[in-house]
Amino acid sequence: MASRFIDRAKVFVKAGSGGRGCVAFRREKYVPFGGPAGGDGGDGGDVIFRVDSDLNTLIDFKYRPHLRAGNGGHGGGDKRTGRRGKDLIVGVPPGTVLYDADTGELIADLVYEGQQVVVARGGKGGRGNARFATAKNRAPRKFEEGKPGEERTIQLELKSIADVGLVGFPNAGKSTLLRAISRAKPEVAPYPFTTLTPHLGVVEHDGERFVVADIPGLIEGASQGRGLGYEFLRHIERTAVLLYVVDGSTLGQSHTGKGPIDDFVTVRREVMAYSDEMKQKEALVAINKIDLVESQEALYEIKAQMETVANKPVYLISAEERIGLNDLVKGIRDVLAVSNR
C-alpha cells in the first residue's frame, strides 16, 4: 500500500477580490434632490496558513491544489459597505516551510501551534459614488470596481521538529531503537527500507522529555541522489543532535563490507554533504545489535576504535534486548543540555 505521508506539495492560492462600489442616491420622502448614497465594496478575504499540531502530513494539498478566499460583497444604497470576504484559513503541520514557487523566496517557517502567515491578501473594495461628491458635482455617478486579490503558487516543505535525529544504513536498527526508547511504533522488519517515512518519538528520562526522529536509511552515494534516505534528511535539519546508529552484529560483513567503523564513516560523509548546518551539530554513535556478537573483546575493541575515529561518545547497545539504553538516553540528554545552552 502506498504511504499517505506527503512532505512536499505545491498549491495555487488566490485571495478574494474586493466588491464593487455602488451608485445610488437618497430617495427619502420630502427630500426631492437627494445626494449620492452609494456605499463601498467590501474587501476580499485573505488566504492564511496556520499551524495545526494535529496534522503531520501535507496529504490534503494533493486533493486541494487550488485554494481561494471569499470575494467582498458589493456596496449598497444608504452608504452601506459590502460585507468583507471570508478569509480562508489553511491548516499545516508544525515544521512547514513556505516558498514562493516562482521566485524561490522564503515566505515563512511555521513551527509553533497557532503561528500563522497571510500568503495572499484580499483586494480592496471599490468606492461608491458617495465618495466622489464635490461642491461642483453633487450627484456623481462615478464608482470603482474592487481590486483583485493577490494570487501566487506556494511550494510547501515539511521538516519534522525533533531534538535528536537517527541516521544510519537501512536495517541498522533505528526503528527498533525508536520503539525501545519511546512510545513511537514505526514498522520494524528484518529487511532494508522498512522505514519509508519519518517517525517521531517522545523520550522521557528523569522528568525531562525530548523528541527523536527516525528517517529512512541512507545508502552510499546518497549525496548524489541514490536511495530514499537523502530525500528525508531535511527532517533532521532542525535537530540539535545526530545519533549515528551502526550495526555491530556482522563485523566485516556490513553494508560497506568492512565493518561498523566504515559504515559510520560512510554515513557521516553522506550527512555532511547534505548541508553545512549538519557539520555544526553535536553527535553520538550507537553500535547496535551487540546481543548478536559473541566476542565481548571484539566489541570493546571496536568501541575504542570508533571513539578514536568519531571523536564522539560511543555506546554499545541492543535495541531489541534493551541493553545499554539507559546509558544511551542519559548520554543524549547530557549532550542536548550542552547544545541548548
* pLDDT given for residue 234 in this prediction: 75
Q: Which pLDDT score, from 0 to 100, does residue 191 have? A: 41
- What pLDDT, on a 0 to 100 scale, did the predictor assign at position 291? 92
Can you give the pLDDT at residue 274?
83
Burial class from Cβ neighbours inside 10 Å (0-12, 13-18, 19+) for residue 291 reads: middle
- Kindly state the helix (H) or strand (E) to which residue 176 belongs, with its residue range: helix 174-181
The pLDDT value recorded for residue 189 is 42
Model confidence, pTM:
0.67
Write down the pLDDT at residue 49: 98
**pLDDT at site 31:** 59
Distances, alpha carbon 330 to alpha carbons 227, 261, 337, in Å: 32, 23, 11
163 grid coordinates: 531534538
Q: Of 188, 182, 212, give the one whose Cα is nearest residue 200.
A: 212
Tell me how far apart the alpha carbons of residues 263 and 169 are, in angstroms, rounded to a whole number: 8
Q: What's the CA gap between 41 and 43, in Å, rounded?
A: 7
Q: Counting Cβ atoms within 10 Å, is residue 146 exposed (0-12), middle (13-18) or buried (19+)?
A: buried
Which residues in the chain land under pLDDT 70? 1-6, 30-33, 184-197, 217, 219-232, 251-258, 340-341
Query: Helix (H, G, I), strand (E, B), or coil: what is residue 202?
Result: strand
- CATH class of domain segment(s) 1-158: mainly beta
1-37 pLDDT, tens digit per residue, is 334 456 789 999 999 999 999 999 987 776 556 789 9
Residue ranges of the domains in the chain? 1-158, 164-339
Which CATH superfamily groups domain 164-339?
P-loop containing nucleotide triphosphate hydrolases (3.40.50.300)
